[in-house]
Structure 1
Amino acid sequence: MGIKSSMGRVLSVDPLVSLWSFAVTLHTDLGDLKVELFCMQAPLASENFLALCASDYYKGCIFHRNIKGFIVQTGDPTGTGKNGQSIWKKRFKDEFHDSLKHNARGIMSMANNGPDSNGSQFFITYSKQTMLDMKYSIFGNYCLGLRIYLMRSFGYRSLI
């Protein structure tokens, strides 16, 4: 089941506590999802995500990977999970920070296929997933709006 999304159309980019943290609202078929970006700890991933959102790169992307209790993943315009590129048209390096862990629901990280292979795909955790620490660059977290657990309700190719 695939539901086309308007994901990526940025409703607002609101500075939070500092100039290095932003909140972005993603519009999806299941409601809005507000995420906080960790621009200071993950500047490359944050810049990449913001620029891709602003360019409507994510518009129409489906969540091609949805694993109950684990993650939901998107960011591939083909919907296959095999494609996608960064704003630099090449893969970019991992950004790990000691204070950022996959220790809760709603952690947003770059998907990759090995070290320093980040592109456009990202995932959001359904729950604590510490085995992902230091393997996937965390660059944000869910803060407000659509409840993350709704993603599980709409099947493998659903959208949030």
Structure 2
Amino acid sequence: MNELTGPFGEISQAELAKSNFATLITTEGDIKINLFNQTAPNTVANFVVLAKKDFYDGVLFHRVISDFMIQTGDPLSKDDDPTNDGTGGPGYIFDDEISEDSPKLIKGIVAMANSGMESDGKGTNGSQFFVVTKDAVPWLDGKHTPFGSVVAGLDVVEKIGQTKTIDPKGGNDRPINDIIIKDIIISES
């Protein structure tokens, strides 16, 4: 099989094999992620294809919960309606890639956010993802596909995680000041 296909389109196995890292260029600094293209190939393929289409350029970190996680990847966060942040995606969903061998959700792990379209959230991956900022979140293990680990810029992740927030829906998890992904660079090393 030379191509990996899914609702995201297709990517060659060779290109996926070279997609080892993603660098998120944000307004707060750069975050480099080691992508788990061996253990979560469909999830990484989805992320890489979207990144190369500039899908993530301009999206906000729309959900920040101190000592827990920072979440991004919603294209609706680019519009002028903050009340719809967290509800958007690429127009499709795909299955989880979770097994007994999946990494635990600890600080620095990057995982897919569930869309909530199904009651249990399983198989509702799209474009939104989060980075864990807490030492461990065992109650989420086995519920979200881990597809990367921060290898540089954990200080940036922690800085974002301590951002002052105020949520227009009545909660308190949207940053007061916009934190934006300006670009994502996919690389072999």
Asked if these proteins are the same fold (TM beyond 0.5), I'd say yes
Q: Which digits, 9 at most, give the CA deviation of each residue in 1:17-76, with x for residues without a partner?
A: xx4760111100011110011011101110011111111101111011100111110000
- Taking the aligned partners of 1:96 and 1:38, their CA distance within structure 2 comes to 12
Q: Cα 1:151–1:94, aligned 2, differ >3 Å: closer, same or farther?
A: same
The Cα of 1:145 is off from its aligned counterpart by: 2.5
Structure 1 match to 2:130? 123
- Taking the aligned partners of 1:22 and 1:122, their CA distance within structure 2 comes to 17
Moved over 6 A (4+): none
Is contact 1:126–1:149 with CA below 8 Å preserved after alignment? yes
Q: Does 1:139 align with 2:147?
A: yes
Q: Does 1:32 align with 2:52?
A: no
Q: Cα 1:146–1:135, aligned 2, differ >3 Å: closer, same or farther?
A: closer
Alignment of 1:91-106 (within 5 A): 91-106=93-108
TM-score (normalised: structure 1): 0.80
- Taking the aligned partners of 1:22 and 1:137, their CA distance within structure 2 comes to 17
Structure 2 match to 1:83? 88
Is contact 2:35–2:149 with CA below 8 Å preserved after alignment? yes
**Between Structure 1 and Structure 2, which shows a larger proportion of helix residues?**
2
| AA of the residue aligned to 2:109 | I
TM-score (normalised: structure 2): 0.69
Is contact 1:21–1:40 with CA below 8 Å preserved after alignment? no
1:153 aligned residue (153, 162, 179): 162
Moved more, 53-62 or 21-30: 21-30
The Cα of 1:130 is off from its aligned counterpart by: 1.2
- Taking the aligned partners of 1:42 and 1:82, their CA distance within structure 2 comes to 24
DSSP-derived class of the 1:117 partner: coil
| AA of the residue aligned to 1:93 | D
Larger radius of gyration: 2
Residues paired across the two proteins, number: 140
Percentage of pairs with the same residue: 37
Is contact 1:21–1:36 with CA below 8 Å preserved after alignment? no
| Higher RCO structure (Cα 8 Å, ≥6 apart) | 2
Moved more, 129-138 or 98-107: 98-107
DSSP-derived class of the 2:160 partner: helix
| AA of the residue aligned to 2:132 | T
